[in-house]
Structure 1
Amino acid sequence: MTADVEQLCRETRALLLDFDGPVCSIFAGYPAPLVARELVNLLRARGAKLSGELASESDPLEVLRHAGAKASPSLTIEVEDALVKAEVLAASTAVPTAYGREVIVAARQLGLPIAVVSNNSAQAVEAYLRAHRLHGHVALVIGRAYAEPSRMKPNPEPIFRAVNRLGVDPGSSVLVGDSLSDIQGAKAAGVRVIGYANRDAKKSLFEQAGADVVVKSMREVAQALVAAGGLAGEGAI
């Protein structure tokens, strides 16, 4: 049975957030398809063999996954470095997700340690948090492992790292994510998960994947955190 979001927030001892989606849209000003095309062009320039499907890939993380699986370690590092550079640039024009900030502030007021666990680079996440004056609220940033795309979510390893470094039990933590890789990674790590269905089509996918809660707006999470702590200012959210 799907848990109630407020009850879930009452029971959690740490909040884990995916970055691109729950916190912001990182590629809003520097579109992901453009970044993906630049990475594909880099692979092509280095003589890598590209499938037709990869040549039209619009997700830069998938291009990196391909490099990790098919390219040499040195070329994978080159793609990684190019993607980190693009992500840091993209962070400067990222658009905040509605109520993403309120979720972070409410969790901090509730006394919950907060970790961002992302398949994006830690450098990009940290640049965004500093620019939006959120770095003081976030205890930990776990970005993707350098040039090791197989360790990205849905691999649970970065989620395990987050809860271990926060010193909390996985079962008493909750991750908010907007992709199947978030849901799958959290389930594999034994962490409860709130699926942020920012598109209608995601709702049933997340439910089928075993999300404990599915919400359509980060406002629902912010309100639940406020209610869970009996915090002042609930009416403002």
Structure 2
Amino acid sequence: MTSETKRTDPVTAGTETEPNELRNLIKGARVVLWDFDGPVCRLFAGHSAERVANDLASWLEGRGLRGLLTETERESLDPHVVLRALDRRHPGSDLVAELEERLTHEELRATASAMPTPYADPLIRTWTAVGSRLAIATNNSPRVVREYLTSRGLVPCFAPHIYGRTQELNHLKPDPHCVNRALNAMGAAPSASLMIGDTPSDLFAARAAGVPFLGYARTERKGKLLRDAGATVVVDSLKPVLWQVRH
């Protein structure tokens, strides 16, 4: 059993004050913005993100562009790092557009084996049922998000508010562009919204947009990264969030 399935009481990871802080975050949220890969599902659960990053790097090398990536970027094992690195050096180029499309294709392949985050589906449905409005704000392709949500019957909980990666890669989080797009489209006040994310870039984007932030950390390492970045409320399961929304 995982730590998510073992947990039975509505508590959060971390300090004793967090249950009250979690309750306050949820109580004040009229609009809930979700990062996709992590809080909603593990997109690359059965389709290695590391392999995808290596394949993208190899594709660049095959075009004589090995020197374009630093060793750190090459070894990051994160497809978005490779994509951003190319965009910084060749912004708006056909090369960037082709690499972005290759990543989208890999993400679409990954949806077939994506693993739902424990308690995410019932939390999404419950939050919708109690009258909150939901949106996706992600660095993944919106095509990928729609395909996954369709497979889970969750599109009505979010549509049309799915804001993901465009070919303007300077707008990827930690830039708040997708967060601000969601807020503007929904006519939402940042202070009456909530962002759920699992990386420091999610936190920084929310902070830049003035939106309260709830960290989701599936592992201790992710939790430490979020706390070190300044996240004050971090849960290791969405179960206590679901409990708070239901009560």
Would the TM-score normalized by the shorter structure come out above 0.5?
yes
Q: Does 1:118 align with 2:135?
A: no
Give the structure 1 partner of residue 166 of structure 2.
145
Alignment gaps of 5+ in structure 1: 228-237
Map 1:7-18 onto structure 2 (within 5 A): 7-18=24-35
1:1-237 map, 5 Å: 4-48=21-65, 49=67, 50-71=69-90, 73-139=93-159, 140-146=161-167, 148-227=168-247
Mark the runs of 5 or more structure 2 residues left unpaired by the alignment: 1-16
Is contact 1:40-1:54 (8 Å) kept? no
- 1:192/1:211 contact within 8 Å kept: no
Are the counterparts in 1 of residues 74 and 82 from structure 2 also a CA contact under 8 Å?
no
Q: Distance in 2 between matches of 1:156 and 1:35?
A: 25
3-state DSSP of counterpart to 1:76: helix
Identity of aligned residues (%): 36
Q: Which residue of 2 aligns with 1:232?
A: none
Partner letter of residue 62 of structure 1? V
Give the 3 Å change call, closer, same or farther, for CA 54–209 of structure 1 in structure 2: closer
1:158-181 deviation per Cα after TM superposition (whole angstroms, max 9, x unaligned): 101111111110111001100000
Q: Which residue of 2 aligns with 1:233?
A: none
C-alpha contact 2:39 2:117 (8 A) present in aligned 1: yes
Is the contact between residue 119 and residue 239 of structure 2 (CA under 8 Å) also seen in structure 1?
yes
Q: Secondary structure at the match of 2:76?
A: coil
CA shift, 1:75, in A, is 0.8
Distance in 2 (alpha carbons) for counterparts of 1:93 and 1:131: 11
Rounded to whole Å, the distance in 2 between the matches of 1:212 and 1:52 is 33
- Residues 192 and 212 in structure 1, CA contact (< 8 A), matched pair in contact too: no
Q: Distance in 2 between matches of 1:203 and 1:86?
A: 27
RMSD: 1.6
- 8 Å contact kept, 1:196–1:217: yes
When the two structures are aligned, how many residues end up with a matched partner? 226
Partners of 2:29 and 2:185 lie apart in 1 by: 16
CA distance in 1, matches of 2:228, 2:77: 25
SS at match of 1:176: strand
Residue type at the aligned position of 1:134: L
CA distance in 2, matches of 1:85, 1:99: 27
Q: 1:86 corresponds to which letter in structure 2? A: E
How far the C-alpha of 1:208 sits from its partner, in A, is 4.1
Query: Does the 8 Å contact 1:37/1:57 carry over to 2?
Result: no
2:157 counterpart SS class: coil
Structure-2 separation of matches of 1:209 and 1:164: 26
SS in 2 for 1:174: strand
Deviation at 1:74, TM superposition (A): 1.3
CA–CA separation in structure 1 for the residues paired with 2:230 and 2:192: 17
User: Which letter maps to 1:153?
Assistant: K
Q: 1:201 to 1:57 in 2, by over 3 A?
A: closer
Q: Measure the CA separation in 1 of the matches of 2:54 and 2:229.
A: 30
| TM-score, length of structure 2 as denominator length | 0.87
Tell me if the contact between 2:199 and 2:225 (Cα under 8 Å) persists in the aligned partners: no
* Structure 1 position 42, deviation (Å): 1.3
Question: Equivalent residue of 2:158, what SS?
Answer: coil
Question: Which amino acid letter does the alignment assign opposite residue 34 of structure 1?
Answer: R
Letter in 1 for 2:47: Y
Aligned-partner residue type, residue 160 of structure 1: N
